Copies of this chain bind each other. A is one copy, B any other.
């Protein structure tokens, strides 16, 4: 797995369980996954020679992020095609749509997939033309490199748009969707073409960053849930995704609109570690290794996951005492990351039947781990 963040770390835990040889290419020996997994290789994923050297010892190469340059992916794919290198899953033709959001929008439009209205823009006149049609605010999105709210600007006025356009970053414009909820549909697809869909979840964002995931999405009409699963499976097939595909959706008045795509384990699927029969991390491994997929069904009626954010304050481990004493059923996952303010450093999961109670418990545990005090207590 290229990349050694928390996604690689949790994929590594799943690989240990399955007895599958698993190596990460880490930017630094202190990366989340490199800290805990044997045989981590340190190297630069923007360096083709290093990528090739890493790939040489693999049967399959996969990714914990979408930042490997497309030209390098093409070289790896060429080696896979002529048998001189390992399989690349997902392949560059699919990954392109996570690396270039404008290309993604164009592909989805060609496929007839409902999306927010969008337009390429290069200057304020272009943005103003969009606003004239859609109204303000207008969303400007970086074509490449954005995630976790970075690279997304909600502009309420021409002046705000002008400030974004002053950045040396290619952007495009999207309508601002007044959604009722944000959803995520997570599916897996194997090279054989087998697919498996997890229950659709609701994600709760603040400042563009996911704070909470509710599985299954509360109040979602079964018909819409089935539509979202079918859409994600069809997209995975149409884009030839191997591994996981997370489809982030807006539930709006007119129905479901696709917001973002990711082709890797995804924050909206962390709840599956305890909450589903097969975790997304095991599922990703099974899919990229072309093994039969695991049962994606829930292991409890309701599951809530809350992210833990760094507060910049002292040693987080001392807080374990309090969190564990307060709630013996909360499952804590920490990623071994330095607790810089605002950084995702872990997550907590609770399973059960009572959504309101689970949300309270998850929020309290996450807030305590983040800040050393109970939010609202």
Contact = CB atoms under 8 A, between A and B. Distances in A.
Given A36-B38, A321-B292, A12 B16 contact: yes
A197 to B, nearest CB: 13
Contacts of A22: 36
Interface residues of A, number: 44
A305 to B, nearest CB: 14
Contact of A37 (B37, B286, B316): B37
Interface stretch (A78-86, A104-112, A135-143, A323-331): A323-331
What number of copies of this chain does the assembly contain?
2
A320 B243 CA distance: 17
A335 interface: yes
Contacts of A363: none
Contact of A277 (B293, B295, B329, B332): B329
A286 to B, nearest CB: 7
A345 to B, nearest CB: 8
A67 interface: no
A259 interface: no
A262 interface: no
Contacts of A335: 19
Contacts of A34: 38
Given A13-B13, A36-B16, A37-B38, A294 B328 contact: yes
A36 B18 CA distance: 11
Contact of A293 (B17, B292, B295, B328): B328
8 closest cross-chain pairs (CB), A and B: A19-B334, A292-B324, A292-B325, A295-B329, A295-B328, A16-B36, A13-B13, A19-B336
